[in-house]
Amino acid sequence: MYAIVDIETTGGHASANGITEIAICIHDGKKITRRFETLVNPQRDIPVYIRALTGITNEMVQDAPPFEDVAHEIYHLLKGQIFVAHNVNFDYSFLRYHLNASGYELQANKLCTVRLGRKIMPGLMSYSLGKLCTHLGIQNNNRHRAMGDAEATAQLFGMLLKSDTDNHIGSALKQNSKEQVLPANLPKTDIEALPSSPGIYYFHDQKGKVVYVGKAKNIKKRVCSHFTGNNPNLQRQEFLRNIYRISHQVCGTELIAFVLEAVEIKRLWPKYNRSLKRFENTYGLYVFEDQRGYMRLAVDKHRKHMPSVYACNSLLEGHNLLLNLIEQFGLCPKLCFIQKNDQPCSGSNVGTCACEGHESPEEYNQRIAGALDELKKALPTFAIRDEGRTDDEHSCILIEEGRFYGMGYISHYYDADNIQALKNYLTPYPGNDYIKNIVTGYANRFPQRKVSFSA
């Protein structure tokens, strides 16, 4: 038996919205054997645009029962039935959430008439309920009301049952089938095409735009994990509705996947990625020449189009670094913006300091050059050589002078002992401290995979 369901709600996600109307048609595979419908008091205001769409007003539901008063009957109508709806994950998530809040745990096999329509009746321009009804000659004189749409879905489902010569419905109901948990608009073939390899994956919307980038040690397993459970919050429900296609890139290792994910999020700026979008080096150590010809060091906030000589995660870290350079190389605290008052210079060369004009720019700049050389020597240059995508190649990531240079794949037989030659095989990418830190951390954990270069 099938329970064909349609609900009207106050909004798009269950955790912050209520149900205003519910209709259930019990179907035996040939005809409707029982109908249930009721208005529901959502105990909150119905937004004006929802009122305009459905025709259900606050006054209409004022004397209707709250959901908990009808939960018992709804649960027993749905219990043991196959739950069918047009975009089933929406209706199911709402009912499961509100039934759970009323003390009932709904567990049911699901069928989505959007997904089934795409498989059994391929090639149509649209699989919205309204467009399908028009195309198939299904009368629905009460659109956007629960019983009108439930009965139209029941007629559609009956046609799908009759036309299902390849047993798509039976396949979707098999215990090991992932069909019923997939987003309504995502072809199962996209899931079947995914490898069980490390890499990154892209979720695309209806227009093909990337809306999410993820990394994985096992691409297929990780992608499928996105569709398990019935989280009712707004972001997840909107996210699932907007997935129409999946593409991927195989990477040699999980480390490559980590790095490529960070690069692609910054490049594509996908709608549903959050954490890596705003990662930037907060501060940097900068060098510039003033009007008198003196080279000056300064710690300042990260500037997107101005390269720093050293990246710092905090202002304190930058000042401590600069203080060490001042002490080690006898630099002027005033010219380094550490001392900002009008008092005499507190540097080690008091009375002969460059800021007082007692030292020529050429002499002072030699010490600045020495400080920068020392800083440069402290910045690591190394590569990570690891497994490749195939047996005859290795993956390679290069850190040059403390900065992420790029990555790529090299021959299994290539020595990779010359940094300039190695660069010819790698693709340069923009980097940040997040990438540098995960690569450096990996090198510390697996020193046998680290390739160092002589100066």
Q: Are 24 and 92 a contacting pair, CB within 8 Å?
A: no
Closest by Cα among 189, 253, 184 to 220: 189
Active site residue 226: no
In whole angstroms, give the CA distance from residue 345 to residue 103.
Answer: 74
- Cβ contacts of residue 90 below 8 Å, gap of 6+? 12, 237, 241
Q: Annotated catalytic residue: which of 98, 144, 168, 248?
A: 144
* Sign of the alpha-carbon dihedral angle for 412, 416, 420, 423: positive
Extract the tokens encoding 9. Answer: 């709600």
Angle in degrees, 0-180, between the axes of helices 113-120 and 146-163, rounded to the nearest 10: 30
What number of residues does the chain have?
455
Cα–Cα distance measured from residue 236 to residue 312, given in angstroms and rounded to the nearest whole number: 36
Question: Is 243 within 8 Å of 202 (Cβ atoms)?
Answer: no
The letter for the amino acid at 17 is: N
Q: How far apart are CA 162 and CA 164, in angstroms?
A: 6
Distance CA 268, CA 258 (A): 16
First to last CA, the chain: 75
Q: Where are the alpha helices (DSSP H) in 57-105?
A: 58-61, 67-78, 88-101
| Cα 301–chain centre separation | 27
Number of Cβ atoms within 10 Å of the Cβ of 24: 25
Contacts for 125 with CB less than 8 Å, ≥ 6 apart? 131
| Gap between the Cα atoms of 79 and 312, Å rounded | 59
Q: What is the dihedral of CA 272, 277, 278, 280, to 10 degrees?
A: 170
Are 230 and 93 in contact by the 8 Å Cβ rule? The answer is yes
Beta bridge mates, 414: none
> 3-state class of 247 per DSSP?
strand
Q: How many Å separate Cα 334 from the centre of its chain?
A: 46
Pairing of strands 82-85, 2-9: parallel
- At 129 the three-state DSSP class reads helix
Residues annotated as catalytic are 144
